[in-house]
A and B are shown apart, each in its own frame.
Chain A
Amino acid sequence: MENVQKALERVLLQVQRPARYTGGELGSIVKDPSQVQVRFAFCFPDLYEVGMSHLGMKILYALQNAREDCWCERVFAPGPDLEGLMREHHIPLYGLESFDPIADFDIIGFTLQYEMSFTAILNMLDLAGLPVRSSQREALAPIVVAGGPCACNPEPLADFIDLFLLGEGEELNMDLIDLYKACKQEGVSKKEFLRRAAQIPGVYVPSLYEVTYHQDGTIQQVLPRDGAPAVVHKRIVKDLDKVFYPENFVVPFTEAVHDRAMVEVLRGCIRGCRFCQAGFIYRPFREKKPDTVDKNAHALCDHTGYDEVSLTSLSTSDFSGLEPLLEKMLTWTEPDGVSIALPSLRVDNFSKELMDRVAAVRKSSLTFAPEAGTQRMRDVINKNVTEEEVLRTCRTAFEGGYTNVKLYFMIGLPTETDEDVAGIIHLAQKVVEEFYHTPNRPKGRGVNVTVSVACFVPKPFTPFEFEPQDGIESLRRKQKILLETVKSKKISVKYHDSPTSFLEAALARGDRKMCAMIEHAWRQGSKLDGWSDYFSMERWEEAAQACGIDLGFYANRSRSYDEVMPWDHLDYGVSKAFLIRENQKAHSDAATPNCRQHCSGCGANHLLGGACFG
């Protein structure tokens, strides 16, 4: 400890915002290492300010530290300035709580939030002084595990991570720590530990599966060995009112992206937007009772001192207990000066009452996501909102004093025509007109409609997992159509870079052959690919070429319904038959009702052992 700490003191004043690297925040947990049996390094493969905004880490940090036998610490990717100094001065990657090198820990766990963070994982293992490939880490400790949404197709990381944790972590992590502790006491080998771990429901040990390929590069079959299950089912927590929820968060000194109390109100989503991976892999839909949420929120605000609490979920306005919850919360939030934030609002159930309760203090900007510009396109992606709903919502916002509206869209969606692309701008134009047709709009101010357009990325476990991604040239052409269609200064268009989306698409549906390419790209300097300052497409193209990988094969190829997907031996609840049905409906411009209106038989209710509703 003295070593790392003193070595750090020699360099910390040369880096940006050193408070990101020194821990000691309120709510951080320090234990006596001699009193614990399992040291867990919870790694977020991105910078501190990003990782500290992540709710999953806060939950698992508190849960693991609630065990007397385990000490969980936080680890983030250092910024390039500190990384350079760490390498120059031989400072190994350390846990923020103890300053101990994580190479000496028992378990190193990464959370996989987005594909662009994959190289950061390799970089962090390397900074820790560990070989990046699991086959070269022979000892039991540290065992390297990973979970989170991208674990639903973990194949591009199969050579680096010892085991993946599928689904929700609350129970699964406890099972893993129990097994590890027993194996450590028994002194078993890493191989034997992995063999036993594969028997825990939700644990996927990639080295226990052999993948064979057809000549065309697609997968022939995936064969389990050593008694590993043929299909690994993700874990869920059935009753959200009984699940562990932290009463305290680590409160960062230096500002994080989301620096506020957060309470989860529900898991899953009833909507079934066909592009949205989260909407499928987090099924089945489960809610907390308003009482539970209120208690969670109150305890958190009291312990952290936060003056803002966010009610988070994929679609918070779908929470059936929202009205009673807000009523309960207002009895203490108002006197305590706490404001309630409701992210993820939908245009089809946004009311004046709701608006009045959100961010009553500052009326800056409201954001909605129609996702597509024409009704036909919205039916294809099953975003069940109409133009009238979008306009009515904007009118409500204007009447409430807002003059800035941000609209999220995608281009490159399956079956998209130039008309659909231009339709995005036409819709924005109608929103501008709606402003001037609103008699009690804010006077003396103009309106600003920001149109933010992302490139569609087909993801595993969605009805669009079979679809090709639009090529870079086509996406650039469509971006041009957007700009050319704008006829008003009140509309500003922002779009994301298409090369990033292309790589994301390749990695999202990648297989094990990609491991070598990821390692190559990292060795050539890719490490914080989510940050445009550090991303280089040329480096990735070179890596793909060096490793004989055709990125277009993964990103731009249409898959047949009977192709074996790299993730087909993993079960996230929704069945492939359902995804195929939904894909077919998309191609006939047909929408699917939401889960509350009608059960479409996605299959996720098997995890509950019964129906989702009633």
Chain B
Amino acid sequence: MGDLLYQTAVRAFFRKEGRVKYISHLDLVRCVSRALKRSGLPVWHTLGFNPHIYTTFALPLALGYESRCESMDFRLVEDRPMEEVQERLNEVLPSGIQVYQAKPPKMKPESIAWADYDIVMEVDSLSGEGLLEKFQEWLSQPQLITMKRGKKGEKAIDLKPHLQVWNLQANPSQLRMTMRTAAGTTLNINPTLALDAFALQGGEKADWLSVTRTAILTKELEPFE
């Protein structure tokens, strides 16, 4: 079990869609590690007194978000074709979590700098157009100051340099947009932080919200691999 050195590192890229968006990151970790066990793949266990399957996730996803670009790393003690790894995982994962690619990791998680999100929001008291207008007004301010909670308590931060928005569209009841925010270990801006700031600063709180992560990018805007 835990006494073997590993042979191959694997980075599995997966989607998290539908009702599984409500499972927290911690629950996802447990779910994936059970799936790895069920898959029968020769996964590497941590060394030590209480060996367990080693997994690590590059950029945890917030509760309630969907994603088309999640990734997790684990290790194998014997080589296996990557197609087989992908197939065997998909046989045992719950519906909504689907691996679309498995390959050896190319980049370090520290290289992550940006993430893109598709956002759809509804505010019952406003039409899509009305919401769009308010949002554009908020976004056009020279600074977007808000409070961000960190390890050392709350502090004020200007979101402006860490946030870009495009594809802003209104339909009769909804506002849609794509938002790119700073991501990674040093500074991680969640779209919810921006939307909360909007709600507090003359905007509205969403009555219904859908957020889907569509890309994780490096500083050079290359996809994280």
Residues of A within 8 A of B (CB): 6, 9-10, 12-13, 17-19, 21-26, 251, 253-255, 302-307, 335, 337, 361-362
Contact = CB atoms under 8 A, between A and B. Distances in A.
Given A24-B96, A305-B34, A253 B51 contact: no
B24 A254 contact: yes
Contact of A6 (B1, B23, B208): B208
B23 A307 contact: no
B20 A24 contact: yes
Q: How large is the interface on B (under 10, 10 to 19, 20 to 34, 35 or more residues)?
A: 20 to 34
Given A19-B22, A25-B94, A304-B38, A253 B208 contact: no
B145 interface: no
A24 B34 CA distance: 15
B34 A18 contact: no
B37 interface: yes
A9 B208 contact: yes
Contacts of A361: 49-50
Nearest to A307: B37
Contacts of B36: 305
A26 B31 contact: yes
B154 interface: no
A26 B94 contact: yes
A19 B94 contact: no
Interface string B12-43: 00000011101110011011001111100000
Interface of B: 1, 18-20, 22-24, 27-28, 30-31, 34-38, 45, 49-51, 63-64, 92-96, 207-210
A253 B38 contact: no
Highest count of chain A CB atoms <10 Å: which of B18, B38, B64, B92: B38
B191 to A, nearest CB: 13
A356 B3 CA distance: 22
B207 A10 contact: yes
Contacts of B64: 12-13, 18
Given A24-B96, A337-B45, A302 B38 contact: yes
27 contacts: A6-B208, A12-B22, A13-B209, A18-B64, A19-B22, A19-B24, A21-B22, A22-B19, A23-B19, A24-B20, A24-B94, A26-B34, A26-B35, A26-B92, A251-B34, A253-B23, A253-B27, A253-B30, A254-B24, A254-B27, A302-B38, A305-B36, A305-B38, A306-B34, A335-B1, A337-B1, A337-B51
A12 B22 CA distance: 8
A12 B20 CA distance: 12
Nearest to A336: B37
B23 to A, nearest CB: 4
A306 B28 CA distance: 15
B208 A10 contact: yes
A122 to B, nearest CB: 28
Contacts of B23: 19, 253-254
A362 B50 CA distance: 9
Nearest to B49: A361
A601 B63 CA distance: 58
Nearest to B31: A253
A254 B208 CA distance: 24
- 4 tightest A-B CB contacts, nearest first: A305-B34, A305-B38, A305-B37, A253-B23
Contacts of B18: 24
Contacts of B208: 6, 9-10
A305 B40 CA distance: 10
Nearest to B206: A10
A158 to B, nearest CB: 38
Nearest to A362: B50
Nearest to A254: B27
B50 to A, nearest CB: 6
B92 A305 contact: yes
Contacts of B95: 24
Nearest to A26: B94
Nearest to B24: A19
Nearest to A5: B19
Contacts of A24: 18-20, 94-96
A13 B62 CA distance: 11
A13 B63 contact: yes
A303 B207 contact: no
Nearest to A15: B22
A173 B207 CA distance: 43
Contacts of B49: 361
B51 to A, nearest CB: 7
B94 to A, nearest CB: 4
A250 B38 CA distance: 14
A303 B18 CA distance: 23
Nearest to B45: A337
Contacts of B50: 361-362
A307 B50 CA distance: 12
